[in-house]
């Protein structure tokens, strides 16, 4: 996709940034603000009767174990719980899980944040906890 990206973005010197440059930039973005802006821009709202799939994932290569680079702080892996409207194939605002907790503990907070009535939630087996149903 290199040529298509160069045609679309028209970067100086017809060069795309390296993987490392893109990674450094993404680490400085406030993820919650970014995801809220995207959600507002696309105005994605589930309708009554739709199914919302929820699943947590750790972002690959999002952690820094050793700190050989003095310009890069070490940090834990980034974990997100994504919500997906199955019928329309649309992703709702991802929810970042605190590094000191896990997907199971973050899910009730996400459900409160979504505060949806009339939709069906689908989880993987790890989230079928009695406390979550209450």
Tell me which of 76 and 33 has the higher pLDDT.
33
pTM for this model (two decimals): 0.56
For the beta carbon of residue 129, count every other beta carbon within 10 angstroms.
13
pLDDT confidence bin for 77, thresholds 50/70/90: confident
Range of the domain at 11: 2-133
Tell me which of 41 and 6 has the higher pLDDT.
6
pLDDT confidence bin for 73, thresholds 50/70/90: low
Q: Which two tokens stand for residue 112?
A: 């409160």
**For residue 58, which of 84, 79, 38 has the smallest C-alpha distance?**
79
The pLDDT assigned to 87 comes to 92
Mean pLDDT value of segment 46-71 = 74
Q: Which two tokens stand for residue 96?
A: 């970042």
Number of domain units in the chain: 1
On the question of pLDDT at 68 being above 80, the answer is no
Q: Which two tokens stand for residue 86?
A: 């199955």
Mean pLDDT value of segment 3-17 = 88
For the chain, the average pLDDT equals 78
For the beta carbon of residue 119, count every other beta carbon within 10 angstroms.
14
Strongest mean pLDDT among 40-49, 64-73, 79-88, 105-114? 79-88
Give the total residue count for the chain.
Answer: 134
Identify the H or E element spanning 53: strand 51-58
Distances in Å between the alpha carbon of 131 and those of 102, 105, 107? Answer: 15, 10, 11
51 phi/psi in degrees, rounded to 5? -105, 130
């Amino acid at each position: 996709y290199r040529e298509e990206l160069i045609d679309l973005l028209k970067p100086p010197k017809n060069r795309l940034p390296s993987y490392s440059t893109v990674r450094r930039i993404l680490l400085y973005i406030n993820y919650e603000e970014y995801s809220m802006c995207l959600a507002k821009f696309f105005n994605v709202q589930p309708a009554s009767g739709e199914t919302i799939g929820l699943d947590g994932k750790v972002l690959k290569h999002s952690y820094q174990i050793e700190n050989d680079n003095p310009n890069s702080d070490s940090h834990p892996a980034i974990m997100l719980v994504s919500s997906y409207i199955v019928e329309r194939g649309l992703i709702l605002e991802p929810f970042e899980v605190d590094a000191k907790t896990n997907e199971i503990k973050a899910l009730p907070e996400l459900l409160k944040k979504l505060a949806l009535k009339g939709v069906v939630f689908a989880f993987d087996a790890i989230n079928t906890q009695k406390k979550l149903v209450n």
